[in-house]
Amino acid sequence: MDKLTEVNNQRQSPISFIEKLLIAHWRSLLLLLIGVYLPLQVFEILAVKIWQNEAGFPWDLPILWTVHSTANPQLDILAVTLAKFGSFWTALPILSAIALILLFQKRWRSLAYLLTTSVGSSIINRTAKALMHRVRPDLWQSNAPEFDFAFPSGHAMTSVTLVAILLILAWANPWRWLLFVFGSLYVIAIGWCRLYLGVHFPSDILAGWMVALAWAIGVSLIIKPHLAKVTPVDDSDRAVNETSLLPEEKQLVTED
């Protein structure tokens, strides 16, 4: 029987094999396209345009002035408060607490994902700011001024990175859609406060969202921060604990 299966596999045409391979992985490929490639394309367009012309896009200033036209003392307080909640120093204790929980639960794969995504996002932001050297807008006196470079927005990247990590780690939880809704509102609120305070152009915010989203999803496709399924053993699916490497990961380690 094994020999017959081997012969059938050998007779399988390349087209048939590719078709089955694509069908088996279409979800991952679609996620790679929508969650990684498209956001990176948007970020690239923004970065190239700003590199060529620091003034940015014709819609940057009109949006900023429109947001500023709604200014009042109550919104001033709200914007400054939101800016604090969207900073790296607010996200750090939250991520640290989650990391300790994952460490205590021995969820090494999820822990590796959290650390790689959060640290990598910070490195990407600092590197991009240093390379782009985009000066922040200076249209009115801000209630919470910033003095480093503008592109991409660190607050935008931090908010998306935090929400993406929480969503991906809690994806098996039925409350994930509620987290998605509140997380989206949080991300939008942080983006709004940066515009309201006049410390970022809209293109800075959009670029931060896109690159952070692409990074968080891309890392999840590599590390797979969930229990993974292996090939059937004794006609039943067996879940591999997060302390175990996947078969293909073991092979890579052995080859190295």
Tens-place pLDDT, residues 11-29: 556 777 666 766 766 777 7
Q: Global pTM?
A: 0.81
Task: Give pLDDT tens digits for 48-67.
Answer: 988 887 777 889 999 999 99
- Element (H or E) spanning 234, and its range? none
Digit-coded pLDDT (tens) for 182-226: 999 999 999 999 999 989 999 999 999 999 999 999 999 888 887
Query: Which pLDDT tens digit goes with each residue over 221-249?
Result: 888 887 544 334 444 444 455 655 666 55
Give the C-alpha separation, 106 to 103, whole Å: 5
**pLDDT (0 to 100) of residue 16:** 73
Mean pLDDT, residues 138-162 taken together: 88
Q: Which two tokens stand for residue 50?
A: 């700003």
- pLDDT (tens digit per residue) in 29-41: 787 888 888 998 9
pLDDT of 233 reads 41
pLDDT at 101: 92
Q: Is 71 in contact with 135 (CB distance < 8 Å)?
A: no
- Among 5-9, 117-121, 122-126, 211-215, the least confident range: 5-9
- Exposure string of 59-80, with b = 16+ CB inside 10 Å and e = fewer, is ebeeebeebeeeeeeeeeeebe
Q: Which tokens hold the place of 61?
A: 């200033």
Taking the C-alpha atoms of residue 56 and residue 73, their distance in angstroms, rounded to an integer, is 30
Q: Strand locations in the chain, DSSP E?
A: 228-229, 239-240
Report the C-alpha gap between 12 and 20 in whole angstroms: 11
The amino acid present at 31, given as its one-letter code, is L
Beta bridge partners of 236: 233
Q: Does residue 89 have a pLDDT over 50? A: yes
Query: What CA–CA distance (Å, rounded) separates 134 from 108?
Result: 38
How many angstroms separate the CA atoms of 95 and 110, rounded?
12
